[in-house]
Structure 1
Amino acid sequence: MKKRNIIKRAAVACLLSAIGMNMSSCIEQTFPKNSTATAEQIAESPAAMNAMLNAVVGFVNAYNTYGQGYTWDLGYTSYGIIREVMCEDFYIYKSGYDYYNSFGLCRSLADNAEVNSIYYYYYKFLNNVNNLIRIVDLENTTETNRQYVGIAKVYRAMIYMDMARLFEYKKTGIAKLDDEAASNNVYGLTVPIIDENITEADARNNPRVPFYTIYRYILDDLENAETLLADYSRPTKNMPDLTIISALKARFWLELGTRFEKYPNDLTTLNQNVDLGITSDKDCYIKAADCAKQAIAKSGATPLSELEWYGGKDYFTAFNSIQTSAWMWGGIMNKENIHSVWLNLAGHLCTEQTFGVGGISYGAHRTISKALFDQIPDDDWRKVTWIAPEDAGKAPGTQYHTLLSDANFMKLPAYVHLKFKPKEGNMIDSNVGAPIDNLLMRVEEMYFIEAEAIAASQGVSAGVSALENFMKTYRYDSYKCTASTMEDFRKELILQKRIEFWGEGIIYWDYKRLELSVTRGYPGTNCPVGYRMNSLEGYCAPWFNLFFSKFESITNQAIILNPDPSAVVDDWTE
C-alpha cells in the first residue's frame, strides 16, 4: 500500500465549512473528538466519504467562495452569466443594477474582484475534488469509493476544460495586446495544473501548461472516470455518470477539431508531445459526433417540448428544475442555498419575480439583442420567450406564457425575456422561488455538437440534414437550412445556438472556439450605452481572454499573466 498523507480533522472541516458543508460533524461521529484521522480512516468511513463527495457535487451551488459577499458569487451558473454578458445577445435593461458589469463594460478587467473570483472559484472547486481523490487508495478500497473518485475526476475534467478555454490567449487583432502576448510567450498556454499530489513548493512555482498538456490531462481524467464508473448507476442527475463522460468528450473533441482545422501546426505540436490517437482535425470531429450520439442515446433525455420550454401549464419548471426531461446534469438547489431575499441566482435572472433586481420590483431585466430577435421567424415558438417591440406595453393575451398579471406584464419593455422562471412558479417567496437548480448540461447541446461535427467530417450536406432533423422534430417543422459551405453552415448553426442557449453560458465557448466577432453596436441597437463594444472580424474578442488573477502572480512565481484587455475597444456611437 502506498504511504498515505495524514489529514487533520480540523483542517478538513475548515475546508468544507468554507462552502457550507459541515463535514466536521460527520467525522466527529466516526472518530473521537480532538483525535487525528488518517486518510485511511476517513476513506473507511462512509459518512466521511459521503461528506467529501458532497463537497465536490455541492460546489456547483456554492455561495460566496471569494469571501466578500459579492453579488455575482452565487455558484456555477452565475459564472455562466458572466460568460453571457461577454457576448452580444444578453443585455440588462437598467444598468444601475448590473452586478456583472465589469465584463459587460469591458473597462476593468485586470485587478478586479469579479475577474479574480473566477480564478478563485475554479481552483477552490478543484481543491475539493483533489481532496477526495487524494484520500482514496484505489488499489485498496471499496467499489463505492472508487466510484466517488470517478465522479470527482469527471468534475475535474469539466473544471480544467472550462479554465483552459477561459484563460488561453487568442489573437484579438489589436496589436498592443497581441504583441505583448507574443513578447511574453503566452500563446498556446492554458493554466497551471494542480493535482492531488502537488506540494506547496511546487504550487508556488507552477507554470501555465501548454494546450497539449492540458488536453492529455483532461482526456486521462475522463477515461479513468469511465473505468471507475463502468457499473455506476446515478441516483440523481447532479451526479455524473457514463452519459456525462460521453457528453464532456463531445465538447472536448469539438474544441480540438476546430483548433486543428484552424491551426494545423498545433496538431503537429501536439503529436510531437503527446499521443491522443489523432492525425487530423477530421479524426477529432468524428470522435465528437460519435460521443455526442452516445450521450444522447445513453441519457434517455429528450429535447424540451414547447410546453416544457415554458414550464408546463402553470409555468412551474421552465429552466429551473433538474427534473426537466432535457436536463442531463445540474446542481440541485434548496432554500438552504439561498442567502438573502435578493442575493440569489433567480433574483438576477428571472423576470417574473418580486424579490430580486431582475424582476418587476427593480426592473433590471435581461433582454435579448434586437439583432438576434429580428432573425427569429414567427414560426419558431421559441420567439415568444421574449417580448416583441410591438407587444411591449400591452396585455400578454394568449401568445405569451407568463406568471404575471396583465397589469405587471404591461410594465415590461421590449425584448425582455420570460425564459427563466422562479421555482414552482413562486414570484413572491424567495425561499420557494429563488432556489432554481443550476443547469450544467442539457441534451440539445449534444444535437448541435453532432450536427457541426458531422458537417466537418462527412460534408456540409450531412450536417445540414442533421441540423434540419433536430429543428424540424423539436423546434418548428418549417425550418430550412440553405447553407452549402461550411462557413455558411456554421453561421446558421451558431445562430440557432444563440437562440437555443440564450442566457445559459454556452455560446461563449463557441465564440472563442471559432474566434467569432462580437457586435453590440449598430444602428437601432438596444444594447445600453457604454456596453456597445464591437470586436474585430476574424479575431477573438479581447475581453474573452481572461487576465488571470494578480493574487496568483504574487503566490506563484512561475505564472505569466495575459495582457490586460481593459478598455481597448471604444464604445460604438452612431
Structure 2
Amino acid sequence: MKTIYKLIAIAFGALAVAACSDDLDTRPEGDTMTEDQKKEIYEQNPEKLEADVLSLYSSMIELLAIEDWYGGQLHFDFGYAAVMLMMDSWGQDMPSEDSSYNWFASSQDMTDRTQTSPLGYFIWNNLYKQLGLANQVIATVPAESEDATSLNFRGQALAVRAFDYLNLVQLYQYTYVGHENELAVPIIAETMTNDEAKNNPRATVAEVYEQILSDLKEAIAILPETGVSGQVNRKVAYGLRARAHLLMQNYDQAYDDAVEAAKGYLPYSIAEVSKPSFNAFNHAWLWGNVISETNDVVLSGIVNFPAHMCSFTGNGYSPGYSGRYINSQLYSRIPDTDVRKGWWATVDEDGQWVAPNVDWTWAITYNGSAYNIAEWEGWQAPYLNVKFGAYNDLYDNATNACDIPLMRVEEMLLIQAEAKGLSQNGSVAEGKAILESFVQTYRDPSYTCTASSKEEFIDAVWFQRRIELWGEGQSWFDIMRLKKPVHRLGTNFESTVAWNLPAEASIFPLIIPEAETNVNPACTNNPIAAAPQAGQTY
C-alpha cells in the first residue's frame, strides 16, 4: 500500500582504493593561509572558528563520505549512526534479515573484517576524518588562550577527539584490562606533519587511553556546563570520561564522573517510553545528532538511520526488507511488568501484532479507511523493534529527520550502579540500590536485583544495559569490555548467521584498511580471522 523505493544493491567488486592521507591530515591546507595567519585572524575574531567547530558535528552525519573512494553509492554511508548499526550487528542482540536489502549484512555475518571491506574503510574514515577536523581546531586555539569562546571551541574539539579515540581503541584491539600493551591505533597529534602521519606506527592501548584522559581532563576544565543541543559541553565530557574509566576499571573515578555528567538531566519516564520514542532530543539526552529536514541524509530519502531502524517510517528498508529485531532469548527474560518489553512487537496466538505495556494505537488512516500499522508497513516477523519512533511521531512519515541519541542520562545511572558495586569504596549492595532505584522509578516498579556476588551483579547491570541501550551502538563495546561470548544459536537469528563465539574471539578486532597501511607502512595490522560458519560453536 505504501510507496516502496525499488533498490538495486551495488555489487562489491573491485575497489578504486584511494590513499587516505587527506582524511588523516591533521593540519589545515597551507596553500592559501598558514596556521599563524589563521591564529591571528581567530584572535581578532574568535567566532570565525565556529565553522570549523560545526564541521565536527556535520561530519557525524555526512552523506556518502566514501562515495569517491568506493566509486558508487553505499546506503550505509550516512555517518556515525551507521557505525552504531554496524557494531550492534556484530553482536547477539540485533538480528536482521540476511538479505541483499540489508546493507549491514556483512557486519552481521562478520565478513567485513578484511583490508578492502567498504564497511571497514567507512569506519576508519568516519572516525579519523572527524579526529582530523578536531586537530585543526586544537592546533588553532592555544591552550593558554584567555578568550572564552575560543576555549569553548578548543574544549569541544578535545572532547570530540577523545570520543574518536575511545571508539577506535575499542574497535581495533581487545579491551583495556589485560591488553594494555597490545597495539591499538595510530595517535595523530595536532602538530604532526603529513610526512609524520605517513610513518606513524600504532600506539599501545595504554597510550591511547592516556591520550583520551589527557584530552578529557583539559576539555572538562575549559568547557561550559551547558551549550547548544547536539554539541559537546562539560557534562558530555564527564560522560565520555566515565565511559573511559569504566573500561579501565577505575571504578571510583567512573562513578564520580557519571554523577557529574548526570546532573541536570532526567531519564525518560515510564509514560514517555510506553510509546515509540528516541526520535527527538529531550531532557534525557546529554548528546545526540540533531537532524533537520534539510540535512543531506534526510534529503537522500533512505540513506539515514531511521530508514534502517524505524519500523514506522514510510520510506526505508525497515520494516519489510531488513527490520531490526531483538534476540528472542533476551526478550523472553524481560519481565512483563517492565515497560521496555513494549519496545518490541510480537504476534499473539491469534496472529495479531501486539506490544505489551504500550500506550499507542495500531491504527493508521489512509483515504478515510483505517489500517493496522503493522500490516500497512509490511512487518515481517515477531520481536520487531518499535523503540524508535517516526519523525514528529507521525506513522508512515517519509521524512526521516529523527535525532539520534549518542549519550543518555540512563547510561550514566547504569555506570554509577556498576562502578559503585565494583569499586573499593563501594559494595554490591550499594550498586544494587542504585540499579533498583533507576529501574523501579523509570522502567519496572516490580524490579528487584537478586545478585549476591560481584559476578552476578555485573551480569545484572549488563542485562539492563542490553535492554536500555538496545540499538544505540553500545552492545558491542559491552561484549568487548566485559569479555563476553556472542551466542546466537537457539535464537531468532537466521540460520545462515547463527553461531556461538567465545569471549575475545580472534575475529573480534577489526582489520585496518589497506588504504591506511599502503600510505603508512609503519602501521602494522591485526591478523585476519576466518568468518564464523553457520551452526558452529567455537
TM > 0.5: yes
The amino acid that maps onto 2:386 is L
CA shift, 1:467, in A, is 1.1
Post-superposition shift, 1:434?
Answer: 0.4
The separation in 2 between residues aligned to 1:392 and 1:145, in whole angstroms, is: 62
2:58 is aligned to: 58
Q: Which aligned pairs between 1:324-339 and structure 2 lie closer than 5 A?
A: 324-337=282-295, 338-339=298-299
Alignment check: 8 A CA contact 1:320 1:422 kept: yes
Distance 1:468 1:251 in 2: 21
C-alpha separation in 2, matches of 1:206 and 1:573: 39
Cα contact 2:47–2:149 (8 A) shared by 1: no
Alpha-carbon distance in structure 1 between the residues aligned to 2:109 and 2:350: 27
CA contact (8 A) 2:60 2:126 kept: no
- Note closer, same or farther for the CA distance 1:402–1:329 as it changes in structure 2 (3 Å cut): farther
Percentage of identical aligned residues: 28
Among residues 327, 330, 336, which one is paired with 1:369 in the alignment?
327
Question: How many pairs were matched up?
Answer: 489
Instruction: Provide the secondary structure at the position in 1 that maps to 2:437.
Output: helix
Which residue matches 2:214? 220
Contact 1:42 1:135 in 2 (8 A): no
| Structure-1 residue corresponding to 2:495 | 529
Within 2, Cα distance between the matches of 1:131 and 1:36? Answer: 13
In the other structure, the counterpart of 2:534 is 571
SS at match of 2:406: strand
CA shift, 1:196, in A, is 0.9
Whole-angstrom CA distance in 2 between matches of 1:399 and 1:251 = 31
Matched, 1:309 2:273: yes
Displacement of 1:330: 1.0
Equivalent AA in structure 2 for residue 102 of structure 1:
S
Following the alignment from structure 2 to structure 1, what is the Cα–Cα distance between the partners of residues 175 and 407? 26
Change (3 A) 1:207 1:118: same
Query: Counterparts of 1:296 and 1:553 in 2: how far apart (Å)?
Result: 40
Query: Does 2:151 align with 1:150?
Result: no
Paired residue for 1:465, among 417, 423, 433? 433
Shift of 1:426: 3.3
1:280 paired residue number:
none
1:191 alignment partner in structure 2? 185
Structure 2 distance, partners of 1:93, 1:408, is: 20
- Change in CA separation of 1:186 and 1:103 when aligned onto 2, cut-off 3 Å: farther
SS of 2:405's partner is strand
- Matches of 1:233 and 1:211 in 2, distance apart? 30
1:476 aligns with 2:444: yes
Distance 1:392 1:154 in 2: 52
Q: Deviations over 1:154-200 (max 9, x none)?
A: 101111111111111469xxxxxxxxxxxxx9961111011211111
Letter in 1 for 2:268: L
Distance of 1:508 and 1:397 partners within structure 2? 26
1:491 is matched with which residue?
Answer: 459
Contact 2:174 2:480 in 1 (8 A): no
For residue 428 of structure 1, report the CA deviation from its aligned partner. Answer: 4.1
**Pair 1:470–1:398, CA change in 2 (3 A):** closer
Matched residue of 1:544: which SS?
coil
Cα distance in 1 for partners of 2:292, 2:305 equals 12
AA at the equivalent of 1:558: A
Query: Is the Cα contact below 8 Å between 2:440 and 2:447 reproduced in 1?
Result: yes
Give the superposition deviation at 1:47: 5.2
Cα RMSD after superposing both structures: 2.7
CA displacement at 1:339 relative to structure 2: 3.8
Give the C-alpha shift of residue 136 in structure 1: 2.2
Q: How many Å separate the matches in 2 of 1:436 and 1:497?
A: 23
What secondary structure is seen at the aligned counterpart in 2 of 1:51?
helix
Quick check: 1:380 aligned with 2:346?
no
What's the CA shift for 1:138?
4.0
Q: Is the 8 A contact 1:186 1:560 kept in 2?
A: no
Per-residue deviation, residues 333-352 of structure 1 (Å, max 9, x unmatched): 11222242222211111001
Shift of 1:304: 0.8
CA contact (8 A) 2:245 2:253 kept: yes
Unpaired segments ≥5 residues, structure 2: 1-21, 365-370
Residue 95 of structure 2: SS of its match in structure 1?
strand
Query: In the superposition, relative to structure 1, how do residues 186 and 572 fare at CA in structure 2: closer, same or farther (>3 Å)?
Result: farther
Aligned partners of 1:507, 1:138: CA distance in 2, in Å?
36
The aligned amino acid for 2:57 is V
In the TM superposition, what are the counterparts of 1:355-434 in structure 2 within 5 Å? 355-359=315-319, 362-390=320-348, 393-394=351-352, 396=354, 400=358, 401=360, 405=364, 406-410=371-375, 411-412=378-379, 413-430=381-398, 433-434=399-400
Q: Does 2:510 match 1:546? A: yes
Aligned equivalent of 1:350: 310
Which AA in structure 2 matches 1:320? Answer: N
Aligned equivalents of 2:251, 2:429: Cα separation in 1: 15
- Whose helix fraction is larger, Structure 1's or Structure 2's? 1
Normalised to the residue count of structure 2, the TM-score between the two structures is: 0.85
Structure 2 CA distance for partners of 1:186 and 1:464, relative to 1, 3 Å: closer
Match of 1:181 in 2: none
**Preserved CA contact (<8 Å) 1:255 1:513:** yes
Ranges in structure 1 where 5+ consecutive residues have no aligned partner? 1-14, 25-33, 172-184, 258-283
- Specify the alignment match of 1:253 in structure 2: 245
Deviation at 1:96, TM superposition (A): 3.1
Aligned equivalent of 1:340: 300
Go from structure 1 to structure 2 and tell me whether the alpha carbon gap of 1:305 and 1:141 turns closer, same or farther (over 3 Å shift): same
* CA distance in 2: counterparts of 1:350 and 1:397, whole angstroms: 15
Q: Which amino acid aligns with 1:483?
A: A
- 1:137 & 1:437 partners in 2: Cα distance? 33
After TM superposition, give the deviation of residue 145 of structure 1 in Å: 1.0
Q: Which residue of 2 aligns with 1:3?
A: none
Over 3 Å counting, the alpha-carbon distance change for 1:403 and 1:122 in structure 2 is farther
Q: Which residue of 1 aligns with 2:11?
A: none
Contact 2:180 2:206 in 1 (8 A): no
1:293 partnered with 2:259:
yes
Q: How does 1:113-152 map to 2 (within 5 A)?
A: 113-139=118-144, 142-152=147-157
Please give the alpha-carbon distance, in whole angstroms, between the structure 2 residues aligned to 1:492 and 1:566.
32
SS in 2 for 1:488: helix
Residues of 1 paired with 2:374 and 2:441: CA distance? 31
Q: Is the 8 A contact 2:226 2:234 kept in 1?
A: no
| Equivalent AA in structure 2 for residue 107 of structure 1 | T
User: Aligned AA for 2:472?
Assistant: E
Seen in structure 2, the aligned counterparts of structure 1 residues 71 and 566 have a Cα distance that, compared at 3 Å, is: farther
Q: For 2:175 and 2:351, how far apart are their aligned partners in 1?
A: 43
Asked whether the 8 Å contact 1:352–1:403 carries over to 2, the reply is no
Match of 2:38 in 1: 39
Residue 437 (structure 1) aligned with residue 437 (structure 2): no
Measured at CA, do residues 36 and 489 of structure 1 come closer, stay the same or move farther in structure 2, by a change above 3 Å?
closer
Partner residue of 2:470?
502
CA 397–78 in structure 1, closer or farther in 2 if over 3 Å, else same: closer
String of CA shifts for 1:209-264, please: whole Å, max 9, x gaps: 112211111111111112222xx25332212222112111111111001xxxxxxx
Question: CA, structure 1 residues 391+555, in 2 after alignment: closer, same or farther (shift >3 Å)?
Answer: farther
Which letter maps to 1:378? D
Partners in 2 of 1:226 and 1:251 — Cα distance?
A: 14
Q: SS in structure 2 opposite 1:335?
A: coil
Equivalent pair of 2:53/2:157 in contact (CA under 8 Å): yes
Distance 1:397 1:487, change over 3 A: closer
| Letter in structure 1 aligned against 2:383 | Y
Do the aligned residues in 1 keep the contact of 2:347 with 2:353 (CA within 8 Å)?
A: no
Q: Which residue of 1 aligns with 2:100?
A: 96
Conserved 8 A contact 2:338-2:443: yes
Aligned amino acid, residue 240 of structure 1: V
1:555 and 1:332 map into 2 onto residues whose CA distance is 35
Question: Post-superposition shift, 1:542?
Answer: 3.8
The verdict on how the C-alpha distance between 1:248 and 1:395 changes in structure 2, with shifts beyond 3 A counting, is: closer
